[in-house]
Amino acid sequence: MALALAIGGAGALWVIFRADITALIAFDVGRGEAIYFAGCVAHALYTPLSRKLNRGESAVQFAFGILVAGAVVLFIWGARDLAAIDWRALPPIVWITLIYLAVFASSATFVLLQYATLRLPSAKVMAYTYLTPSWVVLWQLAMGKGAPPAMILAGVALTVLALALLLKDQLKPAPS
């Protein structure tokens, strides 16, 4: 499992740094990347901690509690900015995006993550996050941005290999 996690991490980094070893070694991280990294650490801690902190609540109840707590923190943190927005002047696409983010990108994801966390080992649940850079590559292809260089595809292949290694027990047919 450790080998699979290392392969997946290496593949994800290879894609993120666009197969540029000098960019990887320089690891020049700005404020935005540091904030994103802190979010990734929090996300990685969520899976093992949610299993430990769950006291028998259903996945929906647990996710609801997490989302309410997160909303309270965000409202406190961003109260000044939220008060400055002219909410009635926002175009419909902003409201559609907010609804999508609230329902699918947040609520549904947390419920599904919680459901899986209570039934699978944490490493297997988090294995799918290694595919995030690969999904970005696929979205770029879908939007007509063109295929990345072959060297980047090697990183995509590593993340898929890591996922296959982590999920190999589930891929075997059940004995009859």
31-79 residue pLDDT tens? 877 887 788 788 778 888 888 888 888 888 988 888 899 899 999 999 9
pTM over 0.75: no
Alpha helix (H) residue ranges in the chain: 2-16, 21-26, 31-53, 59-77, 79-84, 92-100, 109-117, 122-126, 132-142, 150-166, 168-171
- Domain ranges for the chain, please list them: 1-54+122-176, 59-117
Cα 80 to the center of its chain, rounded Å: 28
Question: Are the beta carbons of 116 and 51 closer than 8 angstroms?
Answer: no
Residues 6-20: tens digit of each pLDDT: 887 788 788 778 788
Residues 77-101: tens digit of each pLDDT: 999 999 999 999 999 999 999 999 9
